[in-house]
Amino acid sequence: MSPKNSSGREYYKYAGLGFEFAAVVGLFGYFGYLADQRWGWNGTGIMIGGGVGLVGGIYLLAKQGFEMMREMDALENDEVHESEDSD
């Protein structure tokens, strides 16, 4: 970890990704449950809603993961350039 990130505050936003994933799956599963109740389906709505939630949650996780990797690469590149300048 570089001195710029010594507090680690930048990584708190990534700590909640699991909760965000669970919330997306749960929310869409709940919408599926409501559809089951409304139209008398036998679990089809929950399965569809949960599936849509899983796909959406995985998309959000991948998006945030790639963003985090880009930020970490940028920090590494900055550190490499700083060490080359000090030589």
Question: 28-79, pLDDT tens digit by residue?
Answer: 999 999 999 999 999 999 999 999 999 999 999 999 889 888 988 888 887 7
* Local confidence band at 3 (pLDDT 50, 70, 90 cut-offs): very low
**34 assigned to some structural domain:** yes
Question: How much is the pLDDT for 13?
Answer: 72
**2 assigned to some structural domain:** no
CA distance 21 to 13: 13
User: How many other CB atoms are found less than 10 A from the CB of residue 28?
Assistant: 22
HSE of 54, CA atoms in CB hemisphere, 13 A: 6
Please count the residues of the chain.
Answer: 87
pTM above 0.85, yes or no: no
Amino acid at 24: V
Q: Which domain holds residue 22?
A: 18-86
Give the list of residues 6+ apart from residue 67 with CB closer than 8 angstroms, or none.
Answer: none
**29 assigned to some structural domain:** yes
Count of structural domains, the chain: 1
* Local confidence band at 21 (pLDDT 50, 70, 90 cut-offs): very high
Structural contact between residues 80 and 26, judged by C-beta atoms closer than 8 angstroms:
no
* Residue 1 pLDDT greater than 60, yes or no: no
